[in-house]
Structure 1
Amino acid sequence: MTTTATLTERYIAATVKGLRPETQDDVRAELEASIADAIEARLEQGEAPDDAERAVLTELGDPGILAAGYADRPLHLIGPRFYLTWWRLLKLLLAIVPVCVLGAVALGQTISGAAVGEVISTSLVAAGGAIMHICFWTTLVFVILERTGSTTTIDEWDLDKLPEITDDGVGRSELIASLVFLGIAAGALLWDRFRGFVPGEALPILDPALWPWGISVLFALIVAEAVFAVVVFRRGWSTGLAVVNTVLALAFLAWTLVLLLGGQLVNPDFLSYIVAAGGEGFAAGDAGAAGEGGVFRILAVLVGFGVAIGVGWDIVDGWLKTVRRSRR
């Protein structure tokens, strides 16, 4: 013969089943007494027995949560003591590692002569894997710290860590630095054309065939960058100026990559001079690996990636300054 358990008995059983055996009897006795007192108080106010029992048990809430309170067991992966440290570290790693992995894999694939589709797919898969590993292992470390009750103090806050208030516009010193850099770039182009950077040789590095029309595009971009720097200094960053900055950066990247990939950027005589200066071993190494990339092709890939990284950072920096300014 079986008996039907009451709601109270079922509730207490669900609460104590996850507790350590040595504590179950004490918790059971405590719950029975407290529930009985609460039901008795409602009965004195005129409630029906069934309604009073349901109301009391509903107020106690989920028995799993109640049991966690008795067992002093957290019901979260990462608590407030470690949460901010976990979140800051995770954001920092996600901002750096996947980008480095993507760039490194793409660079290696490009140097090895892989097809464009393979370069893109392999790089994205590697970056995605890096993201998953970062999220999993970083979270796992902090979950272990939380569950083991670690007393380790990580990234303890103090007043010295308050960030400085920064102006997201362009200061006078930044404007001067930008104009000086652009002036040096223009001067270097003229020096390369008429004097050359090879000691004792009037040998330009850039292909002389770029003059005057091809190089005029670069000079136009330099002038546009100078005007842009002045405008940003006077008005501060905005969405429109961030778009202009993006367009200018991409225009410079396109100019460089089109000429670099077409073999029209570097002076052929300069390459011949480098091969001769490097000796037979250098020349043989370049010629023997011509189909697989060769010395010059590897250098071209490195230059292209370097320019792309610089352009990418310039674009991201402009948009970050715009977003920060819009929030203030």
Structure 2
Amino acid sequence: MTSTLTERYIAAVTKSLNPTAQDDVRTELEASIADAVDARLEQGQTQEDAERTVLTELGDPAALAAGFADRPLHLIGPRYYLTWWRLLKLLLCIVPAVAAFGIALAAVLAGGSVGEVIGQVVGITISVGVHVCFWTTLVFFILERTGADTGVRWDVDQLPEPAVNGVGRADLIASLFFLAIGIGAIFWDQFLGFFQTGGDPIPLLNPALWPGWITVLFALIVAEVLLAVAIYARGRWTTGLAVINTALAVLFASWALTLLGRGELVNPEFLDFVVRAGGEGFAQGQEASAEQGGVFGILAAITGICLVFFPAWDIIDGWRKARRAAVQA
């Protein structure tokens, strides 16, 4: 073979192969290229056109060399892909959320503004998500290249149950039950109390919330009841119902966070009782951390973050169910 193109192509294929295999591959390629070129010459093509066509059809020499060497040209192949994807989704649902909670708590305790807290949470959450994707993918890349066994096996017991979009009777009953428990807890706290004080019960919620602010809370609970009934009557989630659910979640979070931020959510008498019950050591511990708002400041920060997290999750869950219902429809 004296063709420059053919020699260059064969050299490009064999240069990355094991030296012991280069001669065999070179001989095989020379023979196959020569036969293909001869066949095209018989069809009336010129030597140059026939050679270019044959080499073009063989494709990228690096890809051909990978085939001879049995090297994968994918990052993660079908053997590991589903395991990688399922684990990655699970980690992305857990790790960034935990990191966001910790950063939000630290930023609030450090006295950061709302903008600073949001900025730090968004930045760290994105960074953590990127790290989760990178390191998880790197582990499976190594498994792919080494051929290690993950030990994951599929069987019929792993088949998922049919997806339910929160429209069954059991879901309606559960929603009404928990809302009724919430209303009962509010009345129990006000008139019977949850904590033994050795005297008259001390409500956890600020009695000054009655009747105005508590009426607003009851109105939101009634709206949640009507929403649950509407979802059951409609038979599925819709975009409109998801919008209403979002509005109710935002209103509840606004109600709670406004009162918490103004120091009007928790009964001051209850906080005084906790300090007295804790004795001098508790008070000293509170004084030592006064710059961060003391023990109660820490509890308030945790409560505030939870009052953001749970309504946010409720909003996401509502839109997820509405989207799933739309796809099924």
Q: Normalization by structure 2: what TM-score?
A: 0.93
Give ranges in structure 1 of 5+ residues lacking alignment.
none
CA apart distance, 1:123: 2.5
Matched, 1:173 2:170: yes
AA at the equivalent of 1:302 = I
Relative to structure 1, the CA distance from residue 289 to residue 153 in structure 2 (aligned partners, 3 Å threshold; closer, same or farther) is closer
3-state SS, counterpart of residue 170 of structure 1: coil
Q: Distance in 2 between matches of 1:202 and 1:39?
A: 98
- 1:58-137 equivalences in 2 (<5 Å): 58-137=56-135
1:166-205 to 2 correspondences below 5 Å = 166-199=163-196, 200-205=199-204
In the TM superposition, what is the alpha-carbon distance from 1:287 to its structure 2 partner?
Answer: 3.7
Mapped partners of 2:168, 2:16: distance in 1: 63
| 1:289 corresponding residue in structure 2 | 289
SS of equivalent to 1:314: helix
CA contact (8 A) 2:104 2:305 kept: no
SS at match of 1:203: coil
Contact 1:14-1:64 at 8 Å conserved across structures:
yes
CA RMSD of aligned residues (A): 1.8
Q: Evaluate the alpha carbon distance shift between residue 198 and residue 41 of structure 1 in structure 2; reply closer, same or farther with a 3 A threshold.
A: closer
Residue 206 of structure 1 corresponds to which residue in structure 2? 205
**CA deviation vs aligned residue, 1:271-323 (integer Å, no higher than 9, x gap):** 11111111122123224433321111111112122222221221121111111
Q: Deviations over 1:30-58 (max 9, x none)?
A: 11111111111222222222111112111
- Identity among equivalent pairs (%): 60
CA contact 1:112–1:293 (8 Å) conserved in 2 = no
Q: Report the CA distance between 1:61 and its aligned residue.
A: 1.2
Q: Distance in 2 between matches of 1:269 and 1:12?
A: 87
> Which of 32, 36, 39 is the aligned partner of 1:38?
36
Letter in 2 for 1:148: T
Number of equivalenced pairs? 324
Q: Helix, strand or coil for the counterpart of 2:24?
A: helix
Aligned counterpart, 1:275: 275
Aligned to 2:49: 51
| Distance in 1 between residues matched to 2:51 and 2:185, nearest whole Å | 88
Distance in 2, Cα, partners of 1:172 & 1:220: 23
Structure 2 vs 1, CA of residues 240 and 132 (structure 1 numbering), >3 Å: closer, same or farther?
same
Q: Equivalent residue for 1:257?
A: 257
Name stretches of at least 5 consecutive residues in structure 2 with no aligned partner.
Answer: none
- Tell me by how many angstroms 1:69 deviates: 1.0
State the one-letter code of the partner of 1:169: G
2:158 counterpart of 1:161: yes
CA contact (8 A) 2:292 2:298 kept: no
Structure 2 CA distance for partners of 1:306 and 1:61, relative to 1, 3 Å: same
Matched, 1:324 2:324: yes
Contact 2:203 2:267 (C-alpha < 8 Å) held by counterparts: yes
Preserved CA contact (<8 Å) 2:104 2:117: yes
Q: Which position in structure 1 is the counterpart of 2:140?
A: 142
**Residue matched to 1:14:** 12
Q: Find the residue that maps to 1:142 and give its secondary structure.
A: helix
- Deviation, 1:153, is 4.5
Instruction: Note closer, same or farther for the CA distance 1:58–1:308 as it changes in structure 2 (3 Å cut).
Output: same
1:240, CA displacement in angstroms? 0.7
| Residue equivalent to 1:222 | 221
